[in-house]
Amino acid sequence: MGQPILPNYPNHATEVALTARDGRRVRVRHMRREDAALLERMFYRLSSETRYRRFFVPLDNIEEERVHREARRLAQIDPARETALIAVVDEQGQEEAVAVARYTCLAERADSCEASLVIRDDYQGVGLGRQLFDLLVQVALAHGLRHMILLTHADNVPMIAIVQGLGMPYKGRFSAGLYEIDLQLTEVARPFFPFTAPED
């Protein structure tokens, strides 16, 4: 059994299907502990640039044991303070991860979280990131969060475009080649998340 989809809300489905602009379909669900192997395999299929944009340090010569250890750590989700959505497909008879969107609540700001998004290179540029990140925002809204903080490279145009495409207000601040975005989660529309239907 996996973790509850959204604590305190009825569970209506375990996954949702998204369709990329090129017609490829992916399944999105909440991450489970056993997904560590998927994260590990996905890491080795990220380009050097994608790794650097996600983790902010060069990781071409990282030891296998460290990758293994980090994958296990990232798959351990505490639903009281974090959410991780994983997009998966079937390739050569086994499930593989192609993207992960996650947030962690900030200890010093009860209504805020820090978010990140990583997409396997062969699934970039086809609209998957925007759809997956929108799902993450819906989860945050359903949990009553009001600010989502993202830190990205100042030249990461696709990530900045994803935020702009949400149509929500945000504040941005440049510093030392990085761009910090404070996405202000407003209730212009009632949160709707395909995994769940919050009680009226």
pLDDT digits (tens, 9 = 90+) for 74-105: 999 888 899 999 999 999 999 999 999 999 99
- Residue owning tokens 């997904």: 35
pTM above 0.95, yes or no: no
Complete domains list, the chain, with CATH: 16-184 (3.40.630.30)
CB-CB neighbours of 121 under 10 Å: 12
Alpha-carbon torsion (116, 31, 100, 63), positive or negative: positive
The pLDDT confidence band at residue 15, using thresholds 50, 70 and 90, is confident
| d(C-alpha 128, C-alpha 141), whole Å | 20
Given a contact cutoff of 8 angstroms between Cβ atoms, the answer to whether 39 and 100 are in contact is yes
102-144 pLDDT per residue, tens: 999 998 888 999 999 999 999 999 999 999 999 999 889 888 8
Q: Which amino acid is at 100?
A: V
Given a contact cutoff of 8 angstroms between Cβ atoms, the answer to whether 168 and 185 are in contact is yes
In this prediction, residue 168 carries a pLDDT of 86
The two tokens of residue 135 are 């799902």
| d(C-alpha 71, C-alpha 35), whole Å | 8
Judged against a pLDDT cut of 60, whether residue 176 lies above it is answered with yes
Helix (H) or strand (E) holding 133: helix 128-142
Q: Which candidate, 155, 158, 34, 26, places its Cα nearest to that of 99?
A: 26
